[in-house]
């Protein structure tokens, strides 16, 4: 906790959270001569400072949508805007966390967190102390000199999240970052992520397979359906913040999960119906 | 009731492993210290047993004196080669051939490997031939190479380089190209330039592939040099081994083999050291 108090100076120079507008965005891929509709006519607006999860069956294009917001994929038609500008390449104000921690195994923990600073050529003592603060906040104080090979999967993912936050992004994009972790570790990381988010307000777009994770973290859960990938419905989660561990045992929490699940079931039904007439098939990943 | 039984089971069973543990610790201290020291003692014992068996077999008459010299004679022969100075020109020749061949191979493999890694067109055009030449037993062309390059340094360097080239080439290519999609996306999301991607991702990744390849390349370079000396030469440890074998100087033959083995170990040491230095510099 001492890290939280002494870190306020180094943690508070972030820009205002980003707003996102997705307008009629579609994405088609060519797979062995067949056209795959990964996303079809997606309309989505995310207010600055919101925590939004994308959830849906595999093949619904949630990762594709996230990569388009990140500027890693270009829409085949339509546009994605972040802070009023059309995204054509990764913007400087984003931080990205992937499903795999993607740490560089020849760099120790601190060096991995500082990689974005090295690339931006603005690494200094202040940046390094911010890295240490972030590591402390993620429960990794004292692990700075360890190498990725010496860490558990959960610890590696904590490092990856600290790395995605080092540049004070106003938009954090997370592609199933906890998908490979066991449930206990996942819940710990959810708590830590919310703690950091509370501390440094920013817009977060979070792709997940887990309903309870989406509900626990988000202001809104975007439920998607597959083949072609589209937004089926948006469920606002009106649980009060800050959200603590104990929330997971409350009736409201279960009620919200039940609600999201019912919308998700609807979405799957739709997907199955669409599959009968739709031309697309296959997992919608590039 | 259930809780009680499990608790009593736990108390009943817990002393057993701890007793075993202390017993094992006592045994360990009686036998002399940590597993590390024990391994060292074991290694020394194996060496002593090996030399003793060698001595017994060599002096018992079971094996012809023309095939095996006792260790004491070998050591004496080695001493003579050193004191009379006959060893040094041969060793120097082999060291030169191996090191030059190795360096030539590494430089060529790094250049060609990088070109392949960054130009799929070149790679796809040339790689089938690389594959064919890799499966080809290159020592078979040693006589041809000697015929082309003469009897001195050149043919051995060429042969050493030829053998050492391929492991470095394939590992350079693999290290520069075996990068996951997530890693590429990470660097793109960080708005890294191509040069930064090379510097922070591809080169360090490649080094992890290249260093192990350097070890096998060095061994192969030494093999190339020795084979070259066997075919035709006027100096070198390989040449000396052939001379000693034909003149029946069995002890000197074995002494030369020991020199080769020490040289091989020295190469391994230098490579390990340089790998550590490069890792620290990063």
**Per-residue confidence at A283, pLDDT binned at 50, 70, 90?**
very low
Domain hosting B242: range is: 77-281
Backbone angles phi, psi at A92, to 5 degrees: -65, -25
> Could you tell me if residue B72 is inside a domain?
no
Looking at the predicted structure, is the pLDDT value of residue A56 above 70? yes
* pLDDT of A227: 81
A124 interface with B at CB cutoff 8 Å? no
- Specify whether the CB–CB gap between B158 and B99 falls below 8 A: no
> Could you tell me if residue B24 is inside a domain?
yes
Same domain, B49 and B102: no
> Could you tell me if residue B227 is inside a domain?
yes
Which residue out of B179, B181, B189 would a mutagenesis test of the A interface target, given it has the greatest number of A Cβ atoms within 10 Å? B189
d(C-alpha A46, C-alpha A25), whole Å? 14
Are the beta carbons of B185 and A67 separated by less than 8 Å? yes
Q: Record the tokens describing residue A56, joined without a space.
A: 């849906």
* pLDDT of A262: 94
Looking at the predicted structure, is the pLDDT value of residue A1 above 50? no
Q: Which of B45, B67, B89 is the last residue of a domain?
A: B67
Same domain, B153 and B219: yes
Q: Which of B13, B32, B67 is the last residue of a domain?
A: B67
Same domain, B96 and B34: no
> Could you tell me if residue B190 is inside a domain?
yes
Residues of B engaging A, defined by a Cβ cutoff of 8 Å:
180, 182-183, 185-192, 196, 200-201, 204-205, 207-208, 279, 282
Q: Which of B44, B67, B90 is the last residue of a domain?
A: B67
Q: Record the tokens describing residue A100, joined without a space.
A: 């795999």
- Specify whether the CB–CB gap between A110 and A117 falls below 8 A: no
Q: Record the tokens describing residue A126, joined without a space.
A: 């202040």
Same domain, B239 and B171: yes
> Could you tell me if residue B159 is inside a domain?
yes
Q: Could you tell me how far CA A275 lies from the centroid of its own chain? A: 28
Same domain, B124 and B171: yes
* pLDDT of B23: 53
Is B191 strand, coil or helix? coil
The overall average pLDDT reported for chain A is 87
- Specify whether the CB–CB gap between A94 and A169 falls below 8 A: yes
pLDDT (tens digit per residue) in A227-253: 888 999 999 999 998 899 899 999 999
* pLDDT of B15: 39
Helix axes A153-165, A183-199, angle to 10 degrees: 20
State the average pLDDT over residues A169-189.
92
Same domain, B128 and B50: no
* pLDDT of B276: 87
Same domain, B152 and B237: yes
d(C-alpha A185, C-alpha B17), whole Å? 31
A254 interface with B at CB cutoff 8 Å? no
Residue A235: closest CA among A53, A101, A86, A77 = A53
Residue A68: closest CA among A49, A56, A81 = A81
d(C-alpha A284, C-alpha A10), whole Å? 40
- Specify whether the CB–CB gap between B77 and B254 falls below 8 A: yes
* B contacts of A100 (beta carbons < 8 Å): 180, 182
For chain B, what is the domain count? 2
Comparison of pLDDT for A278 and A21, the residue scoring more: A21
> Rounded to two decimals, what is the model's pTM?
0.74
Are the beta carbons of A72 and B188 separated by less than 8 Å? yes
Are the beta carbons of B200 and A116 separated by less than 8 Å? no
- Specify whether the CB–CB gap between B235 and B155 falls below 8 A: no
Q: What is the 3-state secondary structure (H, E, C) of chain A?
A: CHHHHHCHHHHCCCCCCCCEEEEEEEEEEEECCEEEEEEEEEEEEECCCCEEEEECCCCCCHHHHHHHHHCCCCCCEEEEEECCEECCCCCCCEEEECCCCCCCCCCCHHHHHCHHHHHHCCCCHHHHHHHHHHHHHCCCCCCCCCCHHHCCHHHHHHHHHHHHHCCCCCEEEEECCCCCCCHHHHHHHHHHHHHHHHHCCCEEEEEECCHHHHHHHCCEEEEEECCCCEEEEEEECCCCCCCCHHHHHCHHHHHHHHHHHHHHHHHHHHHHHHHHHCCCCCCCCC
Q: Record the tokens describing residue A85, joined without a space.
A: 């500008």
* pLDDT of A285: 40
Looking at the predicted structure, is the pLDDT value of residue A281 above 50? no
Same domain, B36 and B82: no
Residues in chain B: 282
Q: Record the tokens describing residue A88, joined without a space.
A: 């054509």
By the 10 Å C-beta count (0-12 exposed, 13-18 middle, 19+ buried), B120 is classed as: exposed
Instruction: Give ipTM to 2 decimals.
Output: 0.85
> Could you tell me if residue B146 is inside a domain?
yes
> Could you tell me if residue B220 is inside a domain?
yes
Q: Record the tokens describing residue B192, joined without a space.
A: 């890294």
Would the CA dihedral through A232, A237, A243, A249 be positive or negative? negative
Q: Which CATH number is B207's domain given?
A: 1.10.3720.10
Ranges of residues in chain B with a pLDDT under 70 are: 1-33, 281-282
* pLDDT of A13: 52
* B contacts of A120 (beta carbons < 8 Å): 190-191
State the average pLDDT over residues A23-32.
88
Residue B276: closest CA among B216, B207, B221, B218 = B207
Same domain, B221 and B97: yes
Helix axes B203-231, B142-149, angle to 10 degrees: 80
Same domain, B57 and B135: no
> Could you tell me if residue B184 is inside a domain?
yes
Comparison of pLDDT for A262 and B279, the residue scoring more: A262
d(C-alpha B218, C-alpha B268), whole Å? 8
Same domain, B133 and B191: yes
**Per-residue confidence at A271, pLDDT binned at 50, 70, 90?**
low
Same domain, B196 and B104: yes
Which residue out of B190, B191, B193, B282 would a mutagenesis test of the A interface target, given it has the greatest number of A Cβ atoms within 10 Å? B190
Looking at the predicted structure, is the pLDDT value of residue A272 above 60? no
Element (H, E) at A85: strand A85-86
Residue A199: closest CA among A129, A136, A115 = A136
Residue ranges of domains in chain A, CATH in brackets: 2-277 (3.40.50.300)
Identify which of B182, B200, B207 has the shortest CB distance to residue A115.
B200
Are the beta carbons of B201 and A118 separated by less than 8 Å? no
- What is residue B193's DSSP assignment? -
């Amino acid at each position: 906790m001492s890290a939280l108090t002494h870190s306020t100076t180094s943690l508070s120079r972030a820009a205002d959270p980003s707003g996102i507008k997705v307008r009629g965005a579609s994405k088609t891929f060519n797979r062995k001569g067949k056209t795959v509709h990964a996303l079809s006519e997606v309309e989505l607006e995310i207010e600055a400072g919101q925590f939004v999860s994308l959830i849906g069956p595999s093949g619904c294009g949630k990762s594709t949508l996230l990569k388009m917001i990140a500027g890693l994929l270009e829409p085949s038609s339509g546009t994605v805007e972040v802070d009023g500008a059309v995204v054509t390449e990764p913007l400087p104000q984003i931080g990205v966390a992937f499903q795999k921690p993607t740490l560089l195994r020849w760099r120790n923990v601190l060096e991995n967190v500082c990689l974005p600073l090295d690339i931006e050529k603005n690494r200094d003592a202040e940046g390094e102390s911010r890295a240490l603060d972030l590591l402390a906040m993620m429960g990794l104080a004292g692990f700075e000199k360890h190498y990725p090979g010496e860490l558990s999967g959960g610890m590696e993912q904590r490092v990856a999240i600290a790395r995605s936050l080092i540049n004070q992004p106003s938009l954090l994009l997370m592609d199933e970052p906890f998908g490979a972790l066991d449930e206990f570790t996942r819940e710990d990381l959810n708590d830590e992520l919310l703690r950091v988010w509370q501390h440094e307000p920013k817009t977060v777009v979070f792709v997940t397979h887990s309903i309870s994770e989406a509900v626990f973290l988000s202001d809104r859960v975007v439920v998607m359906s597959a083949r072609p990938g589209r937004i089926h419905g948006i469920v606002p989660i009106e649980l009060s913040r800050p959200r603590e561990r104990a929330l997971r045992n409350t009736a409201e929490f279960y009620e919200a999960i039940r609600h999201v699940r019912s919308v998700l079931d609807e979405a799957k039904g739709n997907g199955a119906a669409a599959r009968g007439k739709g031309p697309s098939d296959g997992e919608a990943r590039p | 009731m259930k809780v009680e039984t499990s608790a009593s089971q736990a108390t009943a069973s817990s002393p057993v492993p701890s007793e075993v543990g202390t017993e094992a610790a006592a045994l360990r201290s009686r036998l002399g210290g940590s597993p590390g020291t024990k391994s060292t003692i074991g290694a020394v014992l194996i060496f002593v047993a090996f030399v003793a068996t060698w001595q017994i077999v060599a002096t018992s008459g079971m094996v012809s004196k023309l095939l095996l010299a006792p260790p004491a004679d070998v050591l004496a022969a080695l001493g003579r080669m050193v004191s009379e100075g006959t060893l040094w020109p041969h060793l120097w020749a082999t060291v030169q051939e191996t090191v030059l061949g190795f360096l030539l191979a590494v430089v060529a493999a790094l250049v060609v490997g990088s070109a392949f890694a960054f130009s799929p067109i070149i790679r796809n055009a040339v790689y089938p031939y690389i594959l064919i030449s890799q499966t080809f037993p290159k020592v078979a062309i040693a006589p041809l190479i000697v015929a082309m390059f003469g009897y001195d340094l050149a043919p051995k360097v060429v042969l050493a380089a030829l053998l050492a080239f391929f492991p470095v080439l394939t590992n350079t290519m693999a290290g520069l190209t075996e990068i996951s999609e997530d890693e590429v996306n990470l660097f793109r999301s960080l708005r890294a330039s191509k040069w930064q991607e090379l510097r922070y991702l591809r080169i360090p990744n490649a080094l992890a592939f290249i260093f192990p390849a350097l070890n096998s390349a060095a061994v192969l370079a030494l093999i190339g040099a020795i084979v070259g000396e066997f075919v035709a030469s006027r100096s070198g440890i390989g040449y000396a081994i052939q001379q000693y074998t034909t003149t029946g100087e069995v002890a000197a033959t074995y002494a030369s083999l020991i020199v080769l083995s020490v040289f091989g170990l020295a190469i391994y040491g230098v490579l390990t050291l340089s790998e550590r230095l490069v890792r620290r510099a990063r």
